[in-house]
Amino acid sequence: MVVVMEINSNTQQIEAVNSKLAQLGYKTQVIHGVKRIVIGAVGDRRSNDLMELQLMPGVEKIVPIMKPYKLVSREAKEDNTVINVGSATIGGENLTIIAGPCAVENRQQFLAAADQVKHAGGQIIRGGAFKPRTSPYSFQGLELEGLEILREASQATGLPVVTEVIDEVSLQMALDYVDMVQVGARNMQNFRLLKAVGQTDKPVLLKRGMSATIEEWLMAAEYIISEGNGRVILCERGIRTFETATRNTLDLSAVPLVKRLSHLPVIVDPSHGTGDRGLVRPMSMAAVAAGADGLILEMHPEPAKALSDGPQSLTPGELEQVMMQLSMLIPAVGRQLPPAYVS
Closest separation between CB of residue 194 and ligand PEP, Å? 14
Instruction: Choose which of 309, 319, 326, 341 interacts with Mn ion (CB under 5 A).
Output: 309
> Does 293 interact with Mn ion (rule: CB under 5 A)?
no
Output 80 or 248, the one with its CB closest to ligand PEP: 248
Q: Helix, strand, coil shares of the chain as percentages rounded to 5?
A: 40, 20, 40
Q: Which does 184 bind (CB under 5 to 8 A by kind): ligand PEP, Mn ion, none?
A: ligand PEP
Number of residues that bind Mn ion (CB under 5 A): 2
CB of 298 to Mn ion, least distance (A): 6
> Please, are residues 62 and 267 in contact by the beta-carbon 8 Å criterion?
no
Residue 269 lies near Mn ion (rule: CB under 5 A):
no
Say how far apart CA 121 and CA 261 lie, in whole Å. 31
Q: Which does 179 bind (CB under 5 to 8 A by kind): Mn ion, ligand PEP, none?
A: none
- The Cβ of residue 54 has, within 10 Å, a number of other Cβ atoms equal to 12
Residues 6 or more apart from 154 whose CB is under 8 A from it? 86, 114, 125, 160, 161, 178, 179
For the segment 27-86, give every residue that binds Mn ion (CB under 5 A): none
75 binds, among ligand PEP, Mn ion, none (CB under 5 to 8 A by kind): none
Q: Which does residue 318 bind out of ligand PEP, Mn ion, none, counting CB within 5 to 8 angstroms by kind?
A: none
Rounded to whole angstroms, the Cα distance separating 55 from 44 reads 20
- Phi, psi for residue 68 in degrees, rounded to 5: -70, -25
Residue nearest to ligand PEP (CB): 184
Q: Name which position in 3, 4, 97, 102 contacts Mn ion (CB under 5 A).
A: 102
**Residues whose CB is less than 8 angstroms from the CB of residue 312 and which lie 6 or more positions away in sequence, other chains included:** 247, 271, 272, 274, 275, 276, 277, 280, 298
Binding site for ligand PEP (CB under 6 A): 102, 128, 164, 184-186, 207, 237, 269, 272
For Mn ion, the closer of residues 200 and 271 by Cβ is 271
- CB burial of residue 113 (10 Å; 0-12, 13-18, 19+): buried
Question: What x/- string results for residues 236 through 255 when contact with Mn ion is judged by CB under 5 A?
Answer: --------------------
- At closest approach, how far in Å is the CB of 192 from ligand PEP? 17
Q: Which stretches of the chain bind Mn ion, using CB under 5 A? A: 102, 309
